[in-house]
Structure 1
Amino acid sequence: MVTHPFHPLCGGELSVLFERRTRRGLWFVCEVEGRARVTLRQDWTDRGVPQGDRPVATDGLTALRAVIDAVLGRCSDSTQVGE
């Protein structure tokens, strides 16, 4: 089943013809209405890990906050210097 909320086939059940593994992950080549083919990322299907089930690490959020603070600080500093 296609679960990606912005995909035009969202909610539709497709037959998987075969799987393709690339360096960017697992992809499914599916049949649409018995005649066309569409390639879907595993994350866009019910075979992927739902977005809400992925844990968020505190260390990652702390590092992200430090990057945001650095960028915002740099932007405000450059504005004052250029005046």
Structure 2
Amino acid sequence: MVTHPFHPLCGRDLPVLFERRTRRGLWFVCEVDGKQRATLRQEWTDRGAPAGDQRLSADGLTALREVVDAVAGRRSGTTQVGE
């Protein structure tokens, strides 16, 4: 079953034709409506680890933004206040 919430096939049970392991993980090649094939990451299915219920808090998002800004500043060669 496709479990990724933003995938257009979310909630559909699809037969797995075969599996493919790559350096980026396990992928399933599935049949859609007997005509097409869809390639899905294991994490996007009920065979992957269940998705977490927790969302990032406002404090967590603020801290993440600070890290992103610091990395972006280093790449562009500018100096951030407080460095």
TM range (shorter): 0.5 to 0.7
Q: Tell me the percent identity.
A: 66
**In the alignment, does 2:81 pair up with 1:76?**
yes
C-alpha RMSD of the superposition: 3.1
Q: Highest CA radius of gyration, 1 or 2?
A: 1
- Report SS of the residue matched to 2:81: helix
1:76 Cα shift?
A: 2.2
Number of equivalences: 67
* Structure number with higher helix proportion: 1
| Partner Cα distance (2:45, 2:6) in 1 | 12
| Partner Cα distance (1:43, 1:18) in 2 | 16
TM-score, reference length from structure 2: 0.67
| Structure 2 alignment gaps of length 5 or more | 54-62, 72-78
Query: Which amino acid in 1 is paired with 2:70?
Result: V
1:52 Cα shift?
A: 1.5
Task: List structure 1 runs of 4+ shifted beyond 6 angstroms.
Answer: none
| Structure 1 alignment gaps of length 5 or more | 54-63, 79-83
TM-score, reference length from structure 1: 0.67
Equivalent residue, structure 1, for 2:37? 37
| Partner Cα distance (1:75, 1:51) in 2 | 35
